[in-house]
Amino acid sequence: MFSKIIGTGSYLPPNRVTNHDLTQQLAEQGIETSDEWIVSRSGISARHFAERGVCASDLAVYAAERAIEMSGVKKDQIDLVIVASSTPDHLGSFPSTACIVQKKLGISGGGAFDVQAVCSGFIYAITIADAMIKSGNNKNVLVIGAELYSRILDFKDRSTCVLFGDGAGAVVMTASAEPGVLATKLHADGNYAHILTVPGKSAYGALDGSSFVHMDGPAVFKIAVSMLEKVASEVMQAANIAASDLDWLVPHQANIRIMQSTAKKLNLPLEKVVVTVDQHGNTSAASIPLALDCAVRDGRIKAGQTVLMEGVGGGFTWGAVIVKM
> What pairs with residue 196 in β-bridges?
215
The answer to whether residues 317 and 173 touch, using CB atoms and an 8 Å cutoff, is no
CA dist 95 and 103 (Å) reads 11
The whole-number pLDDT of residue 92 equals: 67
> Could you say which of 177, 196, 222 is where a domain stops?
177
For residues 171 and 251, what is the distance between their CA atoms, to the nearest angstrom?
16
Residues 48/165, Cβ–Cβ less than 8 Å: yes
Say whether both 258 and 315 belong to one domain. Answer: yes
State the Cα–Cα distance between residues 90 and 92, nearest whole angstrom: 5
The SS3 of residue 312 is strand
> What is the model's pTM?
0.94
- Looking at this protein, which amino acid is placed at residue 313? G
β-sheet bridge partners, residue 175 = 3
**Buried/exposed 116-145: b ≥16 CB within 10 Å, e otherwise:** bbbbbbbbbbbbbbbebbeeeebbbbbbbb
Q: Rounded distance, CA 130 to CA 138, Å?
A: 9
Give residue 75's identity as a one-letter amino acid code: K
Residues belonging to the active site: 119, 252, 282
Which of 159, 177, 195 terminates a domain? The answer is 177
**Based on the domain organization, do 20 and 162 belong to the same domain?**
yes
Examine the domain organization and report whether 167 and 37 are in the same domain. yes
Task: Quote the pLDDT of residue 94.
Answer: 87
pLDDT of residue 158: 86
CATH value at residue 227: 3.40.47.10
Q: Which of 193, 191, 254, 195 is nearest to 228 (CA)?
A: 254
Domain extent for 14: 2-177
Co-location of 199 and 127 in the same domain: no
> What's the number of domains the chain is made of?
2
From 177, 198, 216, the end of a domain falls on 177
Q: Are residues 258 and 156 in the same domain?
A: no
Q: What's at 264, amino acid-wise?
A: K
What tens digit of pLDDT does each residue of 38-92 get? 999 899 999 999 999 999 999 999 999 999 999 999 999 999 999 999 999 987 6
Burial of 154: CB neighbours in 10 Å, binned 0-12, 13-18, 19+: middle
At residue 182, what are phi and psi to the nearest 5 degrees?
-90, -35
Q: Is the dihedral of CA 264, 266, 272, 273 positive or negative?
A: negative
Letter string b/e over residues 18-30, b meaning 16 or more CB atoms within 10 A of that residue's CB: ebeebbeebeeee
Q: With a cut of 50, which residues of the chain have pLDDT below it?
A: none
Question: What is the C-alpha separation between 146 and 49, in angstroms, rounded?
Answer: 13
Residues 173 and 25 in one domain: yes
